[in-house]
Structure 1
Amino acid sequence: MSCSTEPTNTSPTPSRTETTYFPPISGTTWETKSIASLDWKQNAVQPLLDYLELKHSKGFVILVNGRIVMENYFNGHTATTNWYWASAGKTLTATLTGIAEQERYLNINNKVSDYIGTGWTSLPISKENLITNKHLLTMTSGIEDIDNGDAVDPASLTYKADAGTRWAYHNVYVKLQDVIAKASNQTWNTYFNTRLRDKIGMDGTWFQSGNNSVYASTTRSMARFGLLMANKGKWDNTVVLSETYFNATTNTSQNINLGYGYLWWLNGKSSYHLPQSQIQFSGSIIPSAPNDMFMALGKNDQKIYIIPSKNMVVIRMGDAADNVNLALSDFDDVLWQKISALYQ
């Protein structure tokens, strides 16, 4: 059974010049906007909710111009329940890397060993020193991605190819958290909380799951981060992330996987690679979704979808839609058929 929260506030009928709304940093107030005010199709709402519930969803939010249009919870989940982001949280690390660069703690083009020392891999030193922070951001470290699980200890980080010559999805990106901690002389948690979480009113915490550093928060906190990125790194009038870095992180970052930025997935490109595969697929990652959409995608279908042309953010938290653990599945395409039915 699905349920939605009561509107906190009601906004007027939107106009083309409507400004983006940002909820207060503290408290539960968040302006809402009705389906009718957008001229969306009310009869498309229930099929979407039915599908979300069928596919083991827990939290779902749509924002337009920062205001909540839909907010629904399923299967005992509530607005105050934390849930893990899985690999959707990679985008938090990408964002903090950009913040650390604008504060001049680091340069993404510098080698990783400049910050955490040599010997962080088992590569020959000449090969290890090819790996820059940017290679970690773009999944082009060249480190072997087969049969090592998610481990990032030096013994598990072995050579496959020179950095920059091969795209492969790998947990080694998490070393950026060590880079930031060393460069800023702060703990990762402290830097994250002061530079991002507290500035936009998120809740949530990091926890260790095996070799992974995983973030967990409420659905609304995930939506807050989505809103920040939909506004190109600004929270209201405060620059959290520079627009220059925002543009780099949400556009094609290398020439191997066109559908990948700095730990963000990019829709609407001419080709893409998927995790655990070296196959190049033609066309858009999610054909039924807008071409300008960029995405944070996590295991068991944790999703942040951001559509700049519609000033829209969509969040989905929950269990795996189809008992598939990969970040991307047919669920995304069908879900977007049902979301787009709201406004097409």
Structure 2
Amino acid sequence: MKHKLLIAYLFIFSLYFSCTSNNDSSTEEPQNEEVRYFPPINSEIWETKTTAELNWNEDQLSPLLDFLEEKNTKSFIILHNGKIVIEAYMNGHTDTTPWYWASAGKTLTAAVTGIAQEEGLIDINNKVSDYLGTGWTSAPLEKENLITSKNLLEMTSGLDDNLGDDVSSSNLQYLEDVDQRWAYHNAYVKLQDVVSAASQDSWTNYFNTNLKTKIGMSGAWIQTGSYSLYWSTTRSMARFGLLSLANGKWETEQIIPELYMHEATNTSQSINEAYGYLWWLNGKSSYHLPQSQFEFQGELIPNAPSDTFAALGKNDQKIYIVPSKDLVIIRMGEAADDENFALSSFDNNLWEKINAFID
């Protein structure tokens, strides 16, 4: 087995703050609750925990890592309360090698959209043409003017999702009115143009200033056809996962508005219960998948905790956030089995292995 496994040992005691009840106006932490850790912004230092401290099943670690390696994984991280418990690299990948987020990076666009709204630059309830002008689609004007930024976040724009990934105006064609159809569509990237137009800055500059540098991420947006994909190290993906676990707050700074994060990680529309603002949601009674109008019954990932929300990218790029267990789990790599757009059978199989390890 060729993993490079980094499991460090904790050398400092956990800090605890006392707190009054939730009904009190005090801002102190609840009594005996461990303070969430955030790694330094300009440092590779990242504190760790051991599996023994967490009373996890160490005998199930090797089966988990073997499974990941067999399934074309390149990197895997588990954070508990912000600290690294497991960090593994395999199949030729290293801790400094960048890899693409694919559609898991949609959540970066959602985050920055929320930041721009908090700054008063945009309102997601306004029509997209308020920012981009008319003609950003080839839909009839009266139909185009129905599409808001919120529709792009929810995947309810009504634009035809059968025409490929190109987001040029000629390829964004009317299929149905807004809010009548949930369809996984690359039109969401027009939100980047909305933010750029409203801020009078490039998308990259605005992203770097308002999100990337504030949490110490590496990485860059790389042009792929008519849109860009984000590439970064696995630890940078973990930093964004930790920010999301903390409801958009990094240490004392609220970077993504907390209310917006709540909206983004809860059902956003009535068609697909398992979708927020570009986040996938577990624990719902039904879900839809990309390139399908079929409604599947049951939870998105039955083996995962019901409160899990996830960034899911093509070929099994994964960010799992589990608030009830204070976990962030990252997986980067090639497709575990067959090529896929977001969810795959790998999610549920992986969670079976994770559960054997952490429960």
TM-score w.r.t. length of structure 2: 0.94
Matched ranges for 1:190-209 at <5 A: 190-209=205-224
Q: CA deviation at 1:4?
A: 1.7
1:51 counterpart = 2:67: yes
CA contact (8 A) 2:76 2:89 kept: yes
Q: CA deviation at 1:219?
A: 0.2
Q: Deviations over 1:276-308 (max 9, x none)?
A: 100000110000000000000000100000000
Candidates 5, 16, 39, aligned match of 1:23: 39
Describe the SS at the equivalent of 2:341: coil
CA contact (8 A) 2:9 2:49 kept: no
Call closer, same or farther: CA 1:37–1:8 in 2, change over 3 Å: closer
1:5 counterpart = 2:6: yes
Q: Deviations over 1:120-141 (max 9, x none)?
A: 0111100000000000000000
Partners of 1:150 and 1:334 lie apart in 2 by: 29
Query: How high is the sequence identity, in percent, across the aligned residues?
Result: 59
Matched ranges for 1:174-323 at <5 A: 174-323=189-338
Q: Where does the alignment leave 5 or more consecutive residues of structure 1 unmatched?
A: none
Q: Deviations over 1:8-51 (max 9, x none)?
A: 86454798511100000011100000000000000110110000
Call closer, same or farther: CA 1:6–1:312 in 2, change over 3 Å: closer
Match of 2:126 in 1: 110
Match of 1:119 in 2: 135
CA contact (8 A) 1:111 1:130 kept: yes
Describe the SS at the equivalent of 1:178: helix
Call closer, same or farther: CA 1:289–1:199 in 2, change over 3 Å: same
CA RMSD of aligned residues (A): 1.3
Match of 1:93 in 2: 109
Candidates 154, 157, 160, aligned match of 1:144: 160
Partners of 2:167 and 2:214 lie apart in 1 by: 30
Q: CA deviation at 1:255?
A: 0.2
Match of 2:25 in 1: none
Candidates 86, 90, 95, aligned match of 1:79: 95
Partners of 1:11 and 1:317 lie apart in 2 by: 30
Candidates 187, 194, 197, aligned match of 1:172: 187
Give 2:166's aligned amino acid.
A
Size of the aligned set, in residue pairs, is 343
Q: Deviations over 1:83-123 (max 9, x none)?
A: 00000000000000000000000000000000000000111
CA contact (8 A) 1:13 1:37 kept: no
TM-score w.r.t. length of structure 1: 0.98
Partners of 1:32 and 1:7 lie apart in 2 by: 6
CA contact (8 A) 2:7 2:86 kept: no
1:61 counterpart = 2:77: yes
Give 1:4's aligned amino acid.
L
Over 4 Å off, 4+ runs: 13-16
Q: Where does the alignment leave 5 or more consecutive residues of structure 2 unmatched?
A: 17-31
Partners of 1:317 and 1:94 lie apart in 2 by: 20
Q: CA deviation at 1:210?
A: 1.8
Candidates 20, 34, 38, aligned match of 2:50: 34
Q: Deviations over 1:127-182 (max 9, x none)?
A: 00000000000000000111x11011111111110011110000000000000000
Tell me which moved more, 194-203 or 157-166.
157-166
